[in-house]
A and B are shown apart, each in its own frame.
Chain A
């Protein structure tokens, strides 16, 4: 936990804060995602509805348009066809009348004189006049029939005047002369003032009429003099089966042309196709609808555009009704109606785009309104997003503040607690409940537990202090006891520097502060040295106390000049008289007569002594044994005697020596003890004990020893 600018990083406060922040961010994220999704959905729904409405508007609008178009166009086309046809039927009837009249003339030719006929004169311009026209190289005066047909002049003039659709009316004789009526005689006068001739019998109307043998309409052609588009209605006249003349009328097509031109508007027009499938009238200058007047002009019925070809074919037959035809990459609604008289067909054409214009206009209007609505909606959505963001920011800030507040509220008592606990140094401080911990939650429980623990700890510390003090006191007393016990044993070596007859060394190492082993030696009188080694059952203070009593009793008895057996017996009596704890002590007591080397000894359950003859090795001396002292009252001990030659050694020990134990629970044993002794058999008693001690230490190494280790070595030197 690091602290940066007073904020604990990784602390509880930060953890709580982090947790809250995480949930908050997750919540906001989810909220934003849902909002975005809903908005997207809404926008899509609006757009979908818009699209559907547009399509529906389009469909309805186009249907309505088509219905209207169908009825009106069909009717008008029919009407137009009829009107145009009417023009031709009038002319046709006029030409038929002239044919009948001419036939009558020839039938009754004998009843008529020649009628005069003059060549054209420019003076007559503006007045319908009959004029003589002839072929080059033909002499009109030699004609047999010119005078006869000239009788038709008046009727032709009348016919010319009665209509404005006929631009010229004329009758041509089979010998190359012609009587022509119109109001433009000047057009037949050349620049040189001579009358222009006309190749009459090679004109298409003439040849076609003769070839057909009946009334014909020529194709549209240019007027020989005015170069105005026109067509000719012509009929042959026979007299007795012989061709005698051809009557004809020129129909100026300017009226139809003007009509067609006048009908043309943006996106719609009328056109006329002749019986050969060639475009006669059209306001269009290019494309498939352009006018083609040449004789070899393309037949639209054979057009590569199958739709158009089929349409034209059926329009020749009957009223087609409204059809959608693709021409030159554009869609057109077309309606055709045949013109019966001439075998042509009138076609009304409407650009499909035009029919769509109202729809488009409606749609664009609708789009605009819709767009406005949509942008209003989007603005609103953006506004609501902005509001949302602001709102969320405010919530975030509030939540962060709340998190910090709650975190600090939770953490403050803990921090306070930590501070207090850290301040508890030594044993005098106690953690106590304070109002800040009264949070009525786990913190309060924790603080209470801590207070209890702190109080208990303090009690423990007090207790331990007391116990320690007590222990120290006991320890002091024990170390004092150790000193007292040690001082009870003779510890000055050599003990009798003025007695060269013997040397003696002894040691006692208690396993605890005070031991149950002891050794003792004292001169009973000048010639008697008493040596004692003993081992009290058990260890520590009880053993030490028992040992002290035993030692004093033993010494007292010995000092009375008694024999070893008596000493043991007396001591046993004394101890058994008051021994509820069944304590006992093993003891070996020996009295050496210094002058002779005679050793009298008694053994109360103690280890065998180990003896060395002057020039021999140490050997265990299995002496007679009595029971331990304190074991049973009323025992009588026995003693034995042996003689120590000068140079003999006596080694006494407690069970701490042979029963020294190593880490593997192996005992040092008597054999090792004897071996150790023999290693130092020629040494002084002090050195001998040192060697044994060293051997024991090497054997046990670091294993803990539970028994006291006591040894005594006496060397008898005798009188020198």
Chain B
């Protein structure tokens, strides 16, 4: 289960995720982000309520990061310990902007 809350203001989008980002839910986020990204210069992802992220979820983050690299910036906020551990293990902390 994943709830995606989006607020778009000018070219800035704030997306907060709630639940598990795994094989089943990742396509939903991918679809939502790919719709937003073409018009964005700034993408803020709020991971406060994100419990788990799988490799499928990481792929979406990677794709989004690659896309945003070309037109602006992407930041992750409020990443909890469990998710942060996964990000560290997979080396994603090196390419993502985490605050």
Contacts and interface: CB of A to CB of B under 8 A. Distances in A.
Interface of A: 516, 535-539, 582-584, 586, 604-608, 625-628, 631-632, 655, 659, 665, 667, 706-707
Report whether over half of chain A's contact residues are helix, strand or loop; otherwise say mixed: loop
Interface in B1-41: 20, 22-24
Given A582-B66, A608-B89, A625-B88, A706 B24 contact: yes
B62 to A, nearest CB: 5
15 contacts: A538-B55, A582-B63, A605-B89, A605-B91, A608-B89, A625-B91, A627-B91, A628-B58, A628-B91, A628-B92, A631-B62, A632-B95, A659-B52, A659-B54, A707-B23
Interface string B49-79: 0001011101100110010000000000000
A582 B91 contact: no
Contacts of A537: 55-56, 58-59
Contact of A627 (B23, B59, B94): B94
Given A607-B89, A625-B88, A625-B89, A586 B55 contact: yes
A626 B58 contact: no
B59 A655 contact: no
Report whether over half of chain B's contact residues are helix, strand or loop; otherwise say mixed: helix
B48 interface: no
Given A538-B23, A586-B90, A706-B23, A631 B55 contact: no
Contacts of B95: 627, 631-632
Contacts of B52: 659, 667
A605 B22 contact: no
A283 B83 CA distance: 150
B92 A631 contact: yes
A585 to B, nearest CB: 9
Given A627-B95, A706-B24, 13 more contacts: A537-B56, A538-B56, A539-B56, A584-B58, A607-B89, A608-B89, A625-B90, A626-B94, A627-B91, A628-B58, A628-B92, A631-B62, A655-B55
Contacts of B88: 625
B56 to A, nearest CB: 5
A655 B83 CA distance: 13
A582 B59 contact: yes
A89 to B, nearest CB: 150
A627 B19 CA distance: 25
A49 to B, nearest CB: 96
A716 B69 CA distance: 45
Contacts of A707: 23, 54
A681 B62 CA distance: 38
Nearest to B57: A537
Interface residues of B, number: 20
A632 B93 CA distance: 13
Nearest to A628: B90
Contacts of B66: 582, 632
A627 B90 contact: yes
Nearest to A654: B55
Interface centre among A516, A583, A608, A625 (most CB of B within 10 A): A625
B91 to A, nearest CB: 4
B77 to A, nearest CB: 21
9 A-B pairs with the lowest CB-CB distances in the bound complex, closest first: A605-B90, A627-B91, A582-B63, A537-B59, A537-B55, A605-B91, A625-B91, A626-B91, A706-B23
Nearest to A539: B23
Contacts of B91: 604-605, 625-628, 631
Contacts of A632: 66, 95
A707 B23 CA distance: 9
Nearest to A580: B63
Contacts of B58: 537, 584, 628
Contacts of A655: 54-55
Contact of A582 (B23, B62, B92): B62
Contacts of A538: 23, 55-56, 59
A242 B28 CA distance: 175
A154 B58 CA distance: 188
Contacts of B92: 605, 627-628, 631
A626 B94 CA distance: 8
B59 A583 contact: yes
A605 B55 CA distance: 10
A606 B88 CA distance: 10
Contacts of B54: 655, 659, 707
Nearest to A586: B90
Contacts of A608: 89
Contacts of A516: 55
B50 to A, nearest CB: 14
Nearest to A583: B59
Contacts of A584: 55, 58-59, 62
B83 to A, nearest CB: 12
A532 to B, nearest CB: 17
A59 to B, nearest CB: 108
A625 B94 CA distance: 9
Interface centre among A537, A627, A659 (most CB of B within 10 A): A537
B46 to A, nearest CB: 21
Contacts of A607: 89
A539 B26 CA distance: 12
A537 B90 CA distance: 11
A631 B66 CA distance: 9
A660 B62 CA distance: 24
A210 to B, nearest CB: 159
Nearest to A706: B23
Contacts of A604: 91
A514 B14 CA distance: 37
A605 B56 CA distance: 14
